[in-house]
């Protein structure tokens, strides 16, 4: 047998279907083994990305619901001032004496301590 015929035989064997009942994984176990890496990736994404983001969102919503006039806050855009009044989703921030600007409530990032 020469080298070329050995390669041809191995190609034919590689293209053949697996023998039935001999080491071939089939049925439900084969499906579980196939889907296991995808399930593990989803679990990792959930605990490293999705869950912490949801927790941060809940904390921010709680913070926004507890806003009150007189608090010194800063926005995502970098504006710092005191809350003059709250009208629904609009928060009026006093940045200078007698200068108030409207800011959407969701853009308030935190309280400012000085």
d(CA 94, CA 83): 6
Residue 5 has pLDDT above 80, yes or no: no
The structure tokens 């296991």 sit at: 36
- Residue 34's pLDDT is 87
pLDDT digits (tens, 9 = 90+) for 20-48: 655 555 688 888 888 999 999 999 999 99
d(CA 56, CA 77): 19
State if pTM tops 0.85.
no
């Amino acid at each position: 047998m020469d080298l070329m015929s050995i390669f041809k035989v191995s190609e034919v064997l590689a293209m053949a279907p697996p023998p039935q009942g001999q080491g071939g994984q089939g049925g439900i176990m084969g499906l579980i083994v196939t889907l296991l890496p995808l399930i593990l990736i989803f679990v990792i994404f959930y605990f490293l990305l999705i869950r912490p983001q949801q927790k941060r969102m809940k904390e921010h919503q709680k913070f926004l619901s507890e806003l009150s006039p007189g608090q010194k806050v800063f926005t995502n855009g970098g504006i710092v001032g005191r809350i003059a009044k709250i009208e629904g989703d609009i928060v009026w921030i006093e940045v200078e004496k007698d200068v108030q600007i409207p800011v959407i409530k969701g853009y308030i990032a935190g309280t400012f301590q000085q």
